[in-house]
Structures are given as C-alpha cells and as structure tokens.
C-alpha cells in the first residue's frame, strides 16, 4: 500500500511538472478598435499583478511571455480597459472607445485638462516648433493622447545639439572629411516617437542614421581588402538644378558559422529608472534572443549596476543556455545609477576572459541615465577612450522613453570603437541581435574615414547630408591616431553629397572672389558633356581590427556619369534623406514633400526580405496624414 501511494505521489508530481511547463508560452496577437477595426499603436499589454508588459508596435502587434490561465490587461487611453484570460498562443483583442472620457478631457503636453477649460484646441504635428509643453491636441488623436498620459513629462530626454551642414565652395574648401557612422539609433527612436503621435525632436533626427538603418545591395569586396567603395550620381529630387552623389561602402560578409568565438560581457543598467516594461523587461528579452543564437564556443558574462556594480553571471559557455537564462530572469530594477563603476567592472571582466583570436565585446543596455560617480559626457568619454586600446569593442543599446539620454549613449559608442542602436520593441531587438548579428557584433575594419576631393571645374559648391557629429579636419584623414567609425561583417554604409554644379548659382550663401589670390576661371563644361572627366575623388582609410596602421582606397567619380533613372537602392536612399530633412525642417529641403518621399520609396522597395522598407512607407504615411 505504501509503495502504491508513493508511486501515485510521484506520478502526480511529475504530472504537475509537465502541466506547469505546458502552461508557459509566447502569446502573440493584434489589438484593434472594435468599431473601426483599425490596429491600435502603443497599447499597454501587461500581465495582471506583475511588471511583465509590452507595448503594441506600429501594426498593433504584441508578443508577451506568459502562462495559460494568466490574465492580460489591455489598456489604452481613450478606450475601456479589457482583461482577457490566456487560453492559447494566439490572442487578438478589440478595445471599445471610452466616449465619455474623450468628451470630457483633452491632452496638453503637461498633462490632462477638462475640455471646458480650453478653447481652440487643435491637432498639431507640423514643423519643428512643436513643443510637448505647449501643443494642444484633439482628444481623438489617440496615439498622442496615450503618449502624454503615460509619459506626461518628456523634458528629461537629452539629445546633442547640432547645426546641419551647409554648402561649401569647392574652390575655397575642396576637401570634405568625415568618419563613417554605422549607428542606426536615430531611426528606431524617431519611429517610436511617431508611433506615439509625437513630432520627433529636431536634434533626434540624424539623417545618416536614418539612411544607414537599411541595408543596400552593394557589391562585395572582390579581393583581400575588407571593404569596397561604390558610387552613383543622379539629379537631386528636391532641387532639379542640383546633383546627388551617393558613396556606398560595403564590408566583407562572413557567414555567422565562420565568425570567430566571441567573449561577450553584458553590462546592464538595473537602476530604478529601468523599471518600466519597455526597459528592463525588454532588455531581458533581448538577451534571451541573443543567447538562443549563441554557439558553444561563445561565452557570456553579465555585469549589472545600480547604486553599485556587481557580477551576476561569471563568464559562461554559450552551451549552458539555461544558466544564462536563469541569471537573466532573476534581474530586478531599483536604486540609483552608477554607470561609470559598471563600465569599469565590465572592461575588467572582459579583459579577464579575453580571447586573443576571438571577438571581445561589451554590450551596454541602458536608458543612459547615469547619476552616480562618473556620469558627465566628458568623464564618460575619457573613461571609454582609456579602455578602447584593449581590443575590446563596445555596443550600446538604448531603451525606454521619458528620460532617454541619447547624447550620452552616442558619445560612448563613438569613443568605444562601437555602435549604437535604440531598441523600441522586440522586433528591433531581433533585427539588431539576430538578423544583423555579424554586422552588429563583429568588426572587420576599424577607424574607417572618408575624404572627398571636389573638382572646382565642375563643382560650384557641395553639402554633406548628415554626419554632423562625425566631421573631421582634413589633416585627420592621414593621421592614424585619430579615432573613426567601425564596420561590421556585411555592413553597408551610405553617405550623400548634394552638389551645385558650375554655372548654377549658389543661393545658399557662398563667398566673393578673393582679392589677393588668383581666381582660375572654371572650365566650360556640363554634366552631360562626353569629354567630362572627374567630378570628384573618394578616398577611404581603414585599419584591420588588430592593426594600428591604415590602408587607403581611392575611387574617382566621373562628371558624365549622372543617371537620369537612379537605381532602386538610390531611389530609397533619396526618399529617406528627404524624410529626414522634412522632419528637421531643413533649410535645404527645397521642394521635398511627404508625397515625393512616398513616390521615391515605392520605386526603391526592392526585395525587402524583412519588411523594413515597407514599414518605412507606413511610417511616412502616418506622418503625412498627421500633417495634413
């Protein structure tokens, strides 16, 4: 009898384990307006009684890890809350508009007020003068309604101020020099703002990062060099009298299975500012995505910092995924933010487990809100610069909103031989850490600089579009001690120059002829002249990851090579550049419009394997609707 009872107890226990495991699942679905059946962006989806939550993406989609029988709360300002019990992995939800609430209140940038207390409230999304403190919007603008209620104080986000590049005379300044920028944080960050109905801050829009969010079909290097230069010229779509020259750089593509072993150190901000669902919970999900794709030869350690820094996972083999997952699941947020101490400890752990023939990288996940110890931009810059000679690269992943410190994270990435991405949802985490693993995590060329020499016989003036924070002095190009950008496996990077040809008046300034210098008369020619020679020359310098000496590539661009029909990729690049200039209300946007952006983007969709370009179309359409 006792033996029978013991067997029964064991069976029940084992059955309980299987039932418990069976209950855990990833629930996915979409959230709709019940009346219009339109997808709702920015709905807060939260497991009741926990901090486990997510926000619906641009398509109204969500994915959340939960269990059978748990209750999910769907909350969106202007709608009645809906609580649904989880019974399957697929769960679409419809929300009912709360008309009573919407009739009674409107949203202003500093909170919610009774409608009767305000007059002349209007929807506003135009221009760059938008201020979340001053703008008043109709209560029916649900995305902005949600945004302002959920994050009523937005003034704590920090962006580096910069003035956009202007036209420079080719005779007076024939050389243009800059560091390549492989970052793409600006695009996903402004996507987050637009999805929540907010006009992006002008200084949050870095046009080169918008362009370089997308990959392009550039030819692979066909020799032992790790990079290749491609160029293309066309008529400027926002000013038909000007020309556009695209400079593309393609890094050598190495299959993921052939990449060297990697020594990862995750440096995680677990301070109180990271407690919201779109911060630490999203960080944890991001790490799990990368962990699932790690190889046995890869290793990972986890360092956390709040009021102090500590190691929660010593360097562990990628084969021991459960140990890594357990460490991630136990993370909780709380305390102040001693980021400097965390960075120092992370480098110490990375150096301790350094792989001489491998890839050594720290991955910092934070909202950038450092407030204890080393915290200022200059202090952080000095700290990172002192560490980058160790052969350890830095990837910076930004999370969250409300107090996001973009300016700090950009400094860290630039000074740490690394890159900067902004993670606004799980799909973006998958893009950065899985789909683009090689280009994000494995460097094939460092300190990559470009110098363009313009021929004043053909070029009256030129303007580099974007890269304002990456400009270098002309002498820096040949100075191997000057830091510059890094290129990962398979990376594509693009730069655009807008050119005013000789014979076309520079209406954006320029200088008078110099009194005490001989002025050479420009050669009488045109872009269509078959005898035209070089318009400009592109020079590129790079170093191999373990080298301190640079190599140089040089490619001329002929004046006669201007295309009347740009390639598919160039059409898309031009669309993104126009979009950025419109968002910044650029002095140089000419006759650009959102309709023209859409027209060029549609001609440049191409294969679009992951749907990123189609998503761009939807983003532009949303802005276009809000501005009209």
Does residue 17 form part of some domain? no
The predicted-structure confidence for 506-533, as pLDDT tens digits, reads as follows: 998 877 777 786 655 544 445 555 445 8
Range in 233-247, 351-365, 498-512, 515-529 the model is least confident about: 515-529
Does residue 518 form part of some domain? no
Judging by beta carbons within 10 Å of its beta carbon (0-12, 13-18, 19+), is residue 473 exposed, middle or buried?
A: exposed
Q: Looking at residue 196, what DSSP letter applies? A: T
pLDDT band at 171 (very low <50, low <70, confident <90, very high): very high
Q: Which of 441, 464, 494 is the last residue of a domain?
A: 441
Specify whether 309 is located in the same domain as 428: yes
**In 65-150, alpha helices (H):** 99-104, 142-150
The predicted-structure confidence for 10-57, as pLDDT tens digits, reads as follows: 554 444 444 444 467 889 999 998 888 888 876 778 888 776 777 787
How far apart are alpha carbons 428 and 423 in whole angstroms? 6
pTM: predicted TM-score of the whole model, two decimal places: 0.76
Does residue 158 form part of some domain? no
pLDDT of 580 > 90? The answer is yes
Check which CATH number belongs to the domain holding 565 and give it: 2.60.40.1230
Q: What is the mean pLDDT of residues 595-606?
A: 96
pLDDT of 377 > 70? The answer is no
How far apart are alpha carbons 588 and 596 in whole angstroms? 15
pLDDT of 104 > 90? The answer is no
Does residue 292 form part of some domain? yes
CA dihedral of 150, 151, 152, 154, whole degrees rounded to 10: -160
Q: H or E element: which one contains 607?
A: none
Q: Which of 52, 74, 95 is the last residue of a domain?
A: 95
Specify whether 502 is located in the same domain as 357: no
Specify whether 85 is located in the same domain as 179: no
Beta strands in 308-389 (DSSP E): 309-317, 359-366
pLDDT band at 114 (very low <50, low <70, confident <90, very high): very low
Q: Which of 441, 457, 489 is the last residue of a domain?
A: 441
pLDDT at 616: 94
pLDDT of 96 > 50? The answer is yes
Does residue 516 form part of some domain? no
Specify whether 286 is located in the same domain as 385: yes
Range in 145-149, 355-359, 563-567 the model is least confident about: 145-149
Would you state the structure tokens that stand for residue 373, as one six-digit string? 């110890």
Check which CATH number belongs to the domain holding 72 and give it: 2.60.40.10
Number of domains in the chain: 4
Residue with more model confidence, 289 or 572: 572
Specify whether 347 is located in the same domain as 428: yes
**From its phi and psi, is residue 611 left (phi > 0), alpha (psi between -120 and 50) or beta?**
left
Q: In what order do the strands lie in the sheet with 168-169?
A: 168-169, 459-465, 492-501, 243-251, 227-235, 562-563
Average pLDDT of the residues of the chain: 81
Specify whether 400 is located in the same domain as 466: no
Does residue 535 form part of some domain? yes
Q: What is the mean pLDDT of residues 497-511?
A: 91
Q: H or E element: which one contains 31?
A: strand 24-33
- By the 8 A CB rule, do 416 and 515 touch? no
Specify whether 293 is located in the same domain as 389: yes
pLDDT of 558 > 90? The answer is yes
Q: What is the mean pLDDT of residues 89-103?
A: 74
pLDDT at 531: 47
Neighbours of 452 (CB within 10 A): 21
Specify whether 250 is located in the same domain as 268: no
Q: What is the mean pLDDT of residues 490-504?
A: 95
Does residue 163 form part of some domain? no
pLDDT at 18: 43
Does residue 81 form part of some domain? yes
Range in 198-202, 324-328, 382-386, 409-413 the model is least confident about: 382-386
pLDDT band at 147 (very low <50, low <70, confident <90, very high): very low
How far apart are alpha carbons 253 and 2 in whole angstroms? 65
pLDDT band at 378 (very low <50, low <70, confident <90, very high): low
How far apart are alpha carbons 606 and 604 in whole angstroms? 6
Specify whether 265 is located in the same domain as 356: yes
pLDDT of 191 > 90? The answer is yes
Residue with more model confidence, 135 or 146: 146
pLDDT band at 424 (very low <50, low <70, confident <90, very high): confident
Specify whether 423 is located in the same domain as 463: no
Specify whether 274 is located in the same domain as 377: yes
Neighbours of 249 (CB within 10 A): 26
Q: What is the mean pLDDT of residues 560-578?
A: 94
Specify whether 451 is located in the same domain as 437: no
pLDDT of 562 > 80? The answer is yes
Q: What is the mean pLDDT of residues 225-246?
A: 96
pLDDT band at 205 (very low <50, low <70, confident <90, very high): very high
| Residue 331, domain extent | 256-441
């Amino acid at each position: 009898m006792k033996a029978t009872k013991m067997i029964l107890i064991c069976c029940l226990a084992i059955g309980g384990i299987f039932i418990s495991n069976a209950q855990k699942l990833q629930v996915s679905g979409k959230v709709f307006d019940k009346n219009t059946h339109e997808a709702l962006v920015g709905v807060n989806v939260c497991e009741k009684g926990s901090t486990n939550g997510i926000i619906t993406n641009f398509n109204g989609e969500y994915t959340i890890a939960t269990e059978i029988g748990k209750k999910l709360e769907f909350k969106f300002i202007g709608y009645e809350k809906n609580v649904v019990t989880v019974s399957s992995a697929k769960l679409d939800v419809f929300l009912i508009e709360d008309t009573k609430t919407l009739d009674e209140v409107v949203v202003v940038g500093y909170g919610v007020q009774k409608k009767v207390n305000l007059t002349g409230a209007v929807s506003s999304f135009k221009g760059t003068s938008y201020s979340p403190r001053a703008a008043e919007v109709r209560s029916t603008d649900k995305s902005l309604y949600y945004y302002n209620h959920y994050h009523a104080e937005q003034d704590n986000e920090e962006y580096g101020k910069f003035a956009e590049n202007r036209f420079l005379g080719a005779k007076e300044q024939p050389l243009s020099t800059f560091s390549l920028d492989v970052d793409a944080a600006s695009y996903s960050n402004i996507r987050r703002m637009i999805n929540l109905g907010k006009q992006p801050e002008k200084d949050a829009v870095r046009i080169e990062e918008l362009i370089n969010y997308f990959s392009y079909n550039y030819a692979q290097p066909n020799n032992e060099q790790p990079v290749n230069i491609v160029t293309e010229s066309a008529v400027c779509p926002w000013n038909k009298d000007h020309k556009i020259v695209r400079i593309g750089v393609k890094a050598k593509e190495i299959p993921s299975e052939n990449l060297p072993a990697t020594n990862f150190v995750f440096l995680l901000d677990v301070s109180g500012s990271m407690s919201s669902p779109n911060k630490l919970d999203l960080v944890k999900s991001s790490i799990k995505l990368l962990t699932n794709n790690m190889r046995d030869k890869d290793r990972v350690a986890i360092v956390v910092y709040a009021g102090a820094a500590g190691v929660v996972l010593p360097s562990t083999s990628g084969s021991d995924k459960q140990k890594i997952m357990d460490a991630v699941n136990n993370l909780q947020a709380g305390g102040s933010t001693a980021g400097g101490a965390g960075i120092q400890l992370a480098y110490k752990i990375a150096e301790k487990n350094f792989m001489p023939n491998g890839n050594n990288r720290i991955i910092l996940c934070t909202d950038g809100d450092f407030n204890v110890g080393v915290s200022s931009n200059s202090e952080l810059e000095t700290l990172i610069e002192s560490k980058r000679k160790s052969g350890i690269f830095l990837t910076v992943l930004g999370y969250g909103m409300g107090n996001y410190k973009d300016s700090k994270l950009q400094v860290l990435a630039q000074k740490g031989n690394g890159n900067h991405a902004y993670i606004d949802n799980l799909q973006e985490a998958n893009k950065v850490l899985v789909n683009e693993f090689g280009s994000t995590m494995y460097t094939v060329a460092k300190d990559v600089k470009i110098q363009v020499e313009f021929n004043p016989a053909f070029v009256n003036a030129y303007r580099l579009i974007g890269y304002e924070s990456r400009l270098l002095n002309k002498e820096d190009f040949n100075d191997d001690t000057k830091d510059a950008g890094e290129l990962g496996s398979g990376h594509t990077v693009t730069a655009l120059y807008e050119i005013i040809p000789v014979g076309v008046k520079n209406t954006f300034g320029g200088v008078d002829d110099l009194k005490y210098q001989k002025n050479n008369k420009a050669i009488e020619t045109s872009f269509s002249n078959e005898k035209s020679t070089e318009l400009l020359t592109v020079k590129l310098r790079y170093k191999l990851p373990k080298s301190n000496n640079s190599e140089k590539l040089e490619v001329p661009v002929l004046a006669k090579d201007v295309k009347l029909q740009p390639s598919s990729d160039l059409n898309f690049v031009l669309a993104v550049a126009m979009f950025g200039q419109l968002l910044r209300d650029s002095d140089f946007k000419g006759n650009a419009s959102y309709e023209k952006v859409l027209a060029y983007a549609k001609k440049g969709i191409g294969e679009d394997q992951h749907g990123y370009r189609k998503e761009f179309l939807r983003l532009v359409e949303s802005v276009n609707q809000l501005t009209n």
